[in-house]
């Protein structure tokens, strides 16, 4: 059954919001169709699951009209009306949360030339805005609105206003925050998939902030964004700016809104991942600490629901694997698997337990778990498929090697390479790192099949000198085991 828009919206409502929506429907100002109210009362019984068998059009029609002949168009029209009312209710919520109601009243008073009342409303909005400790884009947007509203009242009274400089500065800060956030999405995207963006304009913005630094220090969020932008200038990530941003973030954490926290954590992750990709293995521990901190602070996802984000979940599993933190992984699965999306939970359980079994050296169980995973059930997007599939392919290879299944491992390497070369999404740098890792494992297996001390020493030197080798510790460990077994 195709998901109906109004059902998707109702699913998102908390119990309190559901009661508020019922009041909204019962208001003659918003809704005069009593049939929609009756229809909602029937649907309300099935919140929040709304199982398809319960809310089929036939069942809903029968609950409203027991004896009448089924008319699909009747139910379809009710759903259409309900959807419009759901969207109107969402507008009401959004307006309340973002001073939207006050702004709309001020704009309407201005249109009607009721300036005395308008002035009172502006003062009230100004007072509420002043309470906001986090000077973010919402804060500056409200300040800009207040200044513009004042301008309407003063335009005929004076040619110069004493708040113009402050108004211009607020506009500038709002612009800078919005643009930096926009570029952050580009930076994260470049880290994940094969795509390149132009950052020339961002560099101009950063230079402007540097040259007028004192004008912007009153906004911690803008300063954090500035430091994060400095982290990613050029090809060499600057640790000094990363730790400066992190210090400011922890100092002002309580003042930030959830979306700001999530955005900043995303940039921290991207910075650490880039350092790891360049061979700075100490950032594996730093990244794991950041992710564990996110869990403790309940910053789980960019989505409104408090389900743990799939990428966050995956990164913790992979880092525990890299750092061999089996107890951390076991505690993570026990405490946070139930916070994953119910639709992905079963597959995530298999995915994470496959890695846990590997850390506990149960390699046959690892392969059994890997064979159970159905990525079509686990993942919603092609990008997510790419990363999870590569994790499992690599885990299978490591397990085959540990089980001395040399021929199967070599065959798996060929298939893995073919997948990497044919993928259009994977970044060239990441593709090359995977292929380099596969070539090293291939050499390792051939050495195990036919030992050559000179080739072994050359392989060891190659791995040690490389700064961008996946599973470097594991490779060196396996070489050490091989060398020891041949003495």
- Residue 113 vs residue 164, higher pLDDT: 113
Where residue 277 falls among pLDDT bands split at 50, 70, 90?
confident
Q: What CA–CA distance (Å, rounded) separates 117 from 275?
A: 56
- If phi > 0 it is left, if psi is from -120 to 50 it is alpha, else beta; for residue 180 that is alpha
Other Cβ atoms closer than 10 A to 74: 16
Take residue 241 and report the two structure tokens written for it: 């700016």
Question: Could you give the percent of the chain with pLDDT greater than 90?
Answer: 52
Answer for the pair 456, 482: CB distance below 8 angstroms, yes or no.
yes
Q: What's the confidence (pLDDT) of residue 350? A: 94
Q: What's the pLDDT tens digit per position in 415-428?
A: 999 999 888 878 88
Other Cβ atoms closer than 10 A to 467: 10
Whether the per-residue pLDDT at 381 is higher than 60: the answer is no
Whether the per-residue pLDDT at 308 is higher than 90: the answer is no
Q: What's the pLDDT tens digit per position in 151-173?
A: 777 655 544 456 678 888 889 99
Q: What's the confidence (pLDDT) of residue 446? A: 93
Q: What CA–CA distance (Å, rounded) separates 128 from 122?
A: 10
Where residue 273 falls among pLDDT bands split at 50, 70, 90?
confident
Where residue 1 falls among pLDDT bands split at 50, 70, 90?
very low
Q: What's the confidence (pLDDT) of residue 280? A: 85
Q: For tokens 């309900």, name the residue.
A: 82
Q: What's the confidence (pLDDT) of residue 305? A: 53
Q: What's the confidence (pLDDT) of residue 10? A: 92
Whether the per-residue pLDDT at 257 is higher than 90: the answer is no
Q: What's the confidence (pLDDT) of residue 368? A: 96
Nearest to 375, CA basis, from 390, 358, 396: 390
Q: For tokens 């994790």, name the residue.
A: 391
Three-state SS annotation for 238-266: CHHHHHHHHHHHHHCHHHCCHHHHHHHHH
Three-state SS annotation for the chain: CCCCHHHHHHHHCCHHHHHHHHHHHHCCCCCCCHHHHHHHHHHHCCCCCCCCCCCCHHHHHHHHCCCCCCCHHHHHHHHHHHHHHHHHHHHHHHHHHCCHHHHHHHHHHHHCCCHHHHHHHHHHHHHHHHCCCCCCHHHHHHHHHHHHHHHHHHCCCCCCCCCHHHHHHHHHHHHHHHHHHHHHHHHHHHHHCCCCCCCHHHHHHHHHHHHCHHHCCCCHHHHHHHHHHHHCCCCCCCHHHHHHHHHHHHHCHHHCCHHHHHHHHHHHHHHHHHHHHCCCCHHHHHHHHHHHHHHHCCCCCCCCCCCCCHHHHHHHHHHHHHHCCHHHHHHHHHHHHHHCCHHHHHHHHHHHHHHHHHHCCCHHHHHHHHHHCCHHHHCCCHHHHHHHHHHHHHHHHHHHHHCCCHHHHHHHHHHHHHHHHHCCCCCHHHHHHHHHHHHHHHHHHHHHHCCCHHHHHHHHHHHHHCCCCCCHHHHHHHHHHHHHHCC
Q: What's the pLDDT tens digit per position in 440-483?
A: 999 999 999 998 889 999 999 999 888 778 888 899 999 999 98
Whether the per-residue pLDDT at 89 is higher than 60: the answer is yes
Sign of CA dihedral 335, 361, 313, 134: positive
Q: What's the confidence (pLDDT) of residue 159? A: 46
Q: What's the pLDDT tens digit per position in 37-74?
A: 999 999 999 998 898 889 999 999 999 998 889 999 99
Q: What CA–CA distance (Å, rounded) separates 377 from 350?
A: 12
Q: What's the pLDDT tens digit per position in 182-217?
A: 888 888 777 766 677 888 898 899 999 999 999 999
pLDDT average, residue stretch 116-121:
88
Query: In whole angstroms, how large is the CA radius of gyration of the chain?
Result: 29
Q: What's the confidence (pLDDT) of residue 199? A: 84
Q: How many whole angstroms from its chain centre is CA 387? A: 15
pLDDT average, residue stretch 266-276:
89
Three-state SS annotation for 350-400: HHHHHHHHHHCCCHHHHHHHHHHCCHHHHCCCHHHHHHHHHHHHHHHHHHH
pLDDT average, residue stretch 77-81:
94
Whether the per-residue pLDDT at 392 is higher than 90: the answer is yes
Average pLDDT over the chain, rounded to an integer: 87
What's the pTM value of the predicted model, to 2 decimals? 0.69
Q: What's the pLDDT tens digit per position in 315-372?
A: 999 999 999 999 999 999 999 999 888 888 888 999 999 999 999 999 999 999 999 9
Question: Could you give the percent of the chain with pLDDT greater than 70?
Answer: 91
């Amino acid at each position: 059954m195709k998901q109906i828009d109004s059902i998707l919206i109702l699913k998102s409502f908390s119990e309190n919001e559901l009661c508020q929506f019922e009041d909204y429907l019962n208001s003659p100002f918003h809704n005069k169709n009593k049939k929609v109210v009756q229809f909602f009362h029937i649907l309300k019984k099935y919140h929040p699951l709304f199982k398809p068998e319960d809310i089929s059009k036939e069942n809903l029609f029968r609950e409203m009209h027991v004896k009448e002949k089924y008319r699909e168009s009747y139910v379809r029209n009710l759903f259409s009306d309900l959807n419009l009312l759901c969207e109107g209710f969402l507008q009401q919520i959004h307006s309340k949360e973002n001073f939207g109601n006050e702004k709309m009243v001020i704009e309407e008073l201005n249109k009607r030339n009721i300036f005395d009342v308008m002035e009172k409303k502006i003062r009230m909005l100004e007072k509420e805005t002043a309470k906001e400790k986090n000077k973010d884009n919402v804060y500056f947007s409200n300040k800009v609105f207040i200044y513009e509203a004042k301008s309407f009242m003063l335009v005929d009274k004076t040619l110069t206003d004493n708040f113009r400089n402050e108004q211009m500065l607020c506009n500038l800060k709002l612009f800078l925050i919005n643009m930096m956030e926009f570029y952050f999405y580009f930076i994260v995207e470049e880290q994940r998939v094969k795509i390149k963006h132009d950052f020339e304009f961002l560099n101009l913005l950063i230079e402007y902030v540097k040259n007028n630094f004192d004008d912007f220090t009153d906004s911690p969020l803008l300063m954090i964004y500035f430091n994060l932008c400095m982290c990613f200038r050029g090809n060499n990530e600057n640790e000094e700016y990363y730790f400066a941003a992190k210090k400011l973030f922890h100092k002002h954490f309580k003042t930030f809104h959830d979306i700001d926290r999530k955005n900043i954590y995303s940039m921290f992750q991207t910075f650490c991942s880039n350092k790891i990709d360049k061979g700075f293995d100490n950032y594996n521990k730093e990244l794991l600490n950041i992710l564990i901190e996110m869990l403790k602070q309940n910053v789980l996802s960019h989505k409104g629901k408090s389900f743990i984000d799939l990428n966050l979940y995956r990164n913790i599993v992979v880092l525990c694997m890299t750092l061999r933190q089996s107890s951390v992984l076991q505690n993570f699965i026990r405490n946070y698997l139930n916070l994953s999306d119910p639709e992905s939970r079963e597959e995530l359980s298999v995915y994470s337990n496959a890695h846990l079994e590997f850390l506990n050296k149960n390699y046959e169980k690892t392969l059994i778990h890997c064979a159970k995973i159905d990525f079509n059930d686990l993942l919603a997007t092609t990008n997510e498929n790419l990363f999870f599939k590569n994790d499992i392919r690599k885990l299978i290879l490591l397990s085959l090697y540990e089980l001395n299944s040399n021929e199967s491992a070599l065959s798996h390497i060929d298939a893995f390479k073919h997948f990497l070369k044919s993928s259009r999404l994977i970044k060239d740098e990441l593709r090359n790192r995977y292929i380099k890792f596969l070539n090293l494992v291939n050499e390792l297996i051939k050495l195990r099949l036919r030992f050559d001390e000179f080739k072994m020493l050359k392989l060891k030197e190659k791995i040690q000198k490389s700064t961008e080798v996946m599973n470097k510790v594991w490779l060196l460990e396996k070489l050490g085991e091989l060398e020891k077994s041949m003495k």
